[in-house]
Copies of this chain bind each other. A is one copy, B any other.
Amino acid sequence: MEAGLRTENRRAALVEAGLEAFGTVGFAKSSIKDICGLAGLTQRYFYESFKKKEDLLSAVYGQVVNGVLETGWANVEKPAKTPAQAVTRTLRTYYQDLLDDPRKARILYFEILGVSGRIDQEYQAATKRLVDLIAHALSRAFPALSAEQLQRTIVPTGLAGAVNLIAANWALDSYATPLEDILLQVQALAQLLDGFLKTSPEGVPA
């Protein structure tokens, strides 16, 4: 095997080990040594691919964020019978991702915060991407809402916060509430909004 390729493999192993360490023990309590142990590598290989622990967190976070947002976008484009169905389905896959791998939830909602200014910026950028996805999902599910109009309001940001806090509380609660219960409530709200928009064609004010 080529050297460059093996370097890549080691890097990938470190990212996977980082996901495990940060997602279970936590960022603060994981040492570089621990992570290398999980990856089955010695410490020097850490410095082969990363300068410091924070850089690994950045790589892990980027991978997780890309994963959930990709499944989100893949879902939002699919046609749906009703707006409520579209909203529910998108949210289901998003939450299902976190349910399948609680380490991702922990990194997305907890470990990423308060580490450094640079990481805060990455968090902010990722939040913005989620807000964009939500704005797009809303404008698709509810054609009465224009995407441009949504972009200028705080509504998608607020909804992103709602989605995130519900997910974070759900994770802190060890996923006690069945996912379907949460989705049923969301579905009811979406149906309400749908009915409301149909009786108020003037839409939502900016």
Contact = CB atoms under 8 A, between A and B. Distances in A.
Contact of A169 (B124, B185, B192): B124
Interface residues of A, number: 44
A166 interface: yes
Contacts of A147: none
A92 to B, nearest CB: 14
A27 B114 contact: yes
A164 interface: yes
Interface string A137-164: 0000000000000000111011111111
A204 to B, nearest CB: 7
Interface stretch (A8-16, A44-52, A71-79, A104-112): A104-112
A164 B115 CA distance: 19
A168 B123 CA distance: 11
A205 interface: yes
A127 interface: yes
A113 interface: yes
A205 B190 CA distance: 11
Interface of A: 26-29, 106, 109-116, 120, 124, 127, 153-155, 157-166, 168-169, 172-173, 182, 185-186, 188-189, 192, 196, 199, 204-206
Given A28-B115, A158-B165, A159-B162, 14 more contacts: A26-B114, A26-B115, A28-B116, A110-B113, A111-B113, A111-B114, A127-B165, A154-B166, A155-B185, A161-B164, A161-B165, A189-B204, A192-B204, A199-B199
Interchain residue pairs A-B with the least CB separation, the first 6 = A161-B165, A158-B162, A161-B161, A110-B114, A113-B113, A161-B162
14 contacts: A27-B114, A111-B114, A127-B169, A155-B189, A157-B162, A160-B165, A161-B163, A161-B164, A161-B168, A162-B162, A162-B165, A165-B165, A192-B205, A199-B199
